[in-house]
């Protein structure tokens, strides 16, 4: 028996109402050299009955597991796959009839490419298209690789996927990001600007489980940069404070949850083993007393010129003096931690460093995607800046700087820049976005922290 060129593996758990359409979308492919492995992972709906409709088809292999999870199911499929190339199709999604033809042709013609992915449509639970997601072409119009493709429509060389150890079974989410982060670091990847996949959005799919996704994303980044970080040390955490120019004098002394803002920041930074040095800088020498309350050899106070604290002044000269004293060659990384963002966690600080290390950029900053429309004034009235319609591109998304934290390469300071030219981002959500810039916001923060309960 001649092995097929492409293996499609289709994991499904309680997607019986969508599964038949997913299988049919493979049967409609315009190429013939494929096999389909369908795995029911312990479904309690009519998935077994739907699968039985296709029992006996020479290209379809049916399997059942008992709730082992998506990654374990994918590894089982990978072990059984006979194709040179493999691609996943989730039980609630659909293939365009030409996806195997187009993506397979890319890998056939470009032996140096390990992975290829297409654009895709977003469809609702009824299969109606409501948007198209378009990714700019890698290496030509897009030179940053911090956004992973959708893991369920990506064609990969089976040898490459096996070579990196297959799917991680300890994450429970973000399998596509994990695969991408491990493949892109050693192999060339590409994409085609054709929508060849239908990605269904509905209340039951994993995409909506934000906390699980966040935890998995951070773990993937942390693991991906373990060996790289040693070459990027020292890693310095800087907590800037000032006497004046906020809505209250010495804002850093304000209490939240029974501790001052600067105490909260110091505790967060010292809880991480990632930082080699933790510096509190202020134009008020009284701040040094707060620093001395904490028993950590990495912690120190650095005096700040009052002139550098005015609202229009750049903090870069202060950061450069700190960096040159600790890191004369400016080869390390500084993480800027703002006292006005009291709910930023140690996980976010560490993700800033990991995002920077993974991307190869000049800096990484926490952002929030702007979902509402933004306008700018023109000669003929207002114009929508972030027009979101039927076709969405990764280049027309707008983000808001949260001033939660930023990780930047120390070499940027020598040019007078905080961020450098290549800025990458990571999304911060929930309370970590909260920034105290008024008495009203301070009172809200105290309520959020449980003061007065």
User: Can the peptide bond before residue 382 be classed as cis, meaning omega within 30 degrees of 0?
Assistant: no
Q: Which residue has the higher pLDDT, 404 or 275?
A: 275
* Residue range 229-254: mean pLDDT, rounded: 95
Distance CA 141, CA 127 (A): 31
Q: Do domains 6-219 and 229-448 have the same CATH topology?
A: yes
What is the pLDDT confidence band of residue 207, given thresholds at 50, 70 and 90?
Answer: low
Strands 363-369 and 255-256: unpaired
Question: In which order are the strands placed within the sheet that holds 423-427?
Answer: 299-303, 277-282, 235-240, 333-337, 399-409, 363-369, 423-427
Q: Are 344 and 430 in contact (CB under 8 A)?
A: no
Q: What pLDDT score was predicted for residue 373? A: 82
- CATH code linked to domain 229-448: 3.90.550.10
Dump pLDDT digits (tens) for 286-314: 999 989 999 999 999 999 999 999 999 99
Which pair of tokens denotes residue 16? 């019986």
Which pair of tokens denotes residue 120? 């895709």
CATH superfamily entry for domain 6-219? Spore Coat Polysaccharide Biosynthesis Protein SpsA; Chain A (3.90.550.10)
Q: What pLDDT score was predicted for residue 2? A: 84
Residues of the chain above pLDDT 90, percent: 68
Which of 210-224, 252-266, 382-396, 406-420 comes out lowest in average pLDDT? Answer: 382-396
Name the one residue in this structure whose structure tokens are 């609630």: 92
The pTM of this model reads: 0.81
Please check the confidence at residue 337 and state whether its pLDDT lies above 60.
yes
Q: What pLDDT score was predicted for residue 221? A: 85
Dump pLDDT digits (tens) for 27-82: 999 999 999 999 999 999 999 999 999 999 999 999 999 989 989 999 999 999 99
Q: Where are the domains of the chain?
A: 6-219, 229-448
In order of 32, 84, 156, 160, the CA distances from 5 in angstroms are 9, 5, 12, 15
* Residue range 415-441: mean pLDDT, rounded: 90
Q: Which residue has the higher pLDDT, 438 or 128?
A: 438
Q: Is 424 helix (H, G, I), strand (E, B) or coil?
A: strand
Which pair of tokens denotes residue 310? 């005015």
What does the DSSP 8-state code read for residue 215?
Answer: H
What is the pLDDT confidence band of residue 219, given thresholds at 50, 70 and 90?
Answer: confident
Instruction: List beta partners, residue 6.
Output: 34, 85
CA angle (165 as vertex; 163, 167 as ends), nearest 5 = 125
| Nearest alpha carbon to residue 303 among 242, 373, 255 | 242
Please check the confidence at residue 226 and state whether its pLDDT lies above 90.
no
Q: What pLDDT score was predicted for residue 394? A: 66
Write a three-state SS string for 216-253: HHHHHHHHHCCCCHHHHCCEEEEEECCCCCCCCCCHHH
Distance CA 222, CA 312 (A): 35
Instruction: List beta partners, residue 121.
Output: 132, 198
Please check the confidence at residue 391 and state whether its pLDDT lies above 80.
no
| Nearest alpha carbon to residue 71 among 32, 36, 41, 112 | 41
Write a three-state SS string for 372-409: CCCEEEECCEEEECCCCCCEEECCCCCEEEEEEEEEEE
């Amino acid at each position: 028996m001649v092995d097929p060129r492409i293996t499609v593996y289709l994991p499904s758990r309680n997607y019986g109402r969508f599964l038949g359409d997913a299988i049919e979308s493979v049967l409609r492919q315009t190429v013939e050299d494929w096999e389909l492995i369908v795995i029911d992972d312990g479904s309690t709906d009519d998935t077994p009955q739907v699968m039985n409709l296709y029992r006996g088809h020479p290209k379809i292999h049916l399997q059942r597991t008992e709730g082992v999870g998506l990654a374990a199911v994918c590894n089982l499929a990978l072990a059984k796959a006979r194709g040179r190339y493999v691609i996943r199709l989730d039980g609630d999604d659909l293939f365009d009839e030409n996806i195997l033809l187009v993506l397979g042709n890319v890998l056939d013609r470009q032996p140096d490419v390990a992975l290829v992915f297409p654009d895709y449509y977003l469809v609702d639970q009824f299969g109606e298209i409501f948007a198209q997601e378009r990714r700019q072409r890698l290496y030509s119009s897009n030179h940053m690789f911090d956004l992973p493709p959708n893991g369920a429509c990506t064609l990969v060389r089976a040898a490459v996927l096996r070579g990196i150890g297959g799917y991680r079974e300890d994450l429970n989410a973000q399998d596509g990001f994990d695969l991408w982060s491990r493949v892109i670091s050693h192999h060339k990847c590409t994409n085609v600007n054709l929508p060849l996949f239908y990605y269904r959005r509905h209340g039951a799919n994993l995409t909506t489980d934000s906390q699980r996704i966040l935890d998995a994303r951070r773990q993937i980044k942390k693991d991906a940069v373990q060996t790289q970080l040693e070459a990027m040390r020292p890693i310095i955490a800087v907590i800037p404070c000032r006497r004046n120019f906020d809505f209250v004098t010495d804002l850093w002394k304000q209490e939240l949850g029974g501790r001052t803002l600067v105490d909260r920041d110091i505790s967060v930074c010292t809880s991480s083993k990632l930082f080699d040095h933790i510096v509190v800088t202020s134009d008020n020498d009284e701040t040094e007393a707060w620093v001395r309350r904490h028993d950590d050899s990495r912690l120190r106070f650095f005096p700040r010129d009052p002139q550098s604290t005015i609202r229009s002044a750049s903090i870069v000269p202060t950061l450069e003096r700190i960096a040159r004293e600790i890191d004369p060659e400016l080869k390390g990384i500084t993480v800027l931690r703002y006292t006005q963002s009291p709910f930023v966690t140690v996980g976010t600080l560490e993700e800033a460093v990991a995002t920077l290390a993974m991307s190869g950029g000049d800096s990484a900053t926490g952002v929030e995607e702007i979902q509402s429309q933004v306008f700018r004034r023109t000669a003929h009235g207002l114009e929508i800046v972030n027009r979101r319609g039927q076709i969405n591109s990764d280049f027309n998304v707008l983000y808001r700087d949260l001033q939660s934290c930023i990780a930047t390469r120390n070499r940027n300071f020598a040019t007078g820049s905080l961020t450098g030219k290549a800025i990458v981002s990571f999304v911060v959500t929930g309370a970590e976005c909260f920034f105290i810039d008024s008495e009203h916001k301070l009172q809200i923060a105290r309520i959020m922290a449980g003061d007065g309960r």
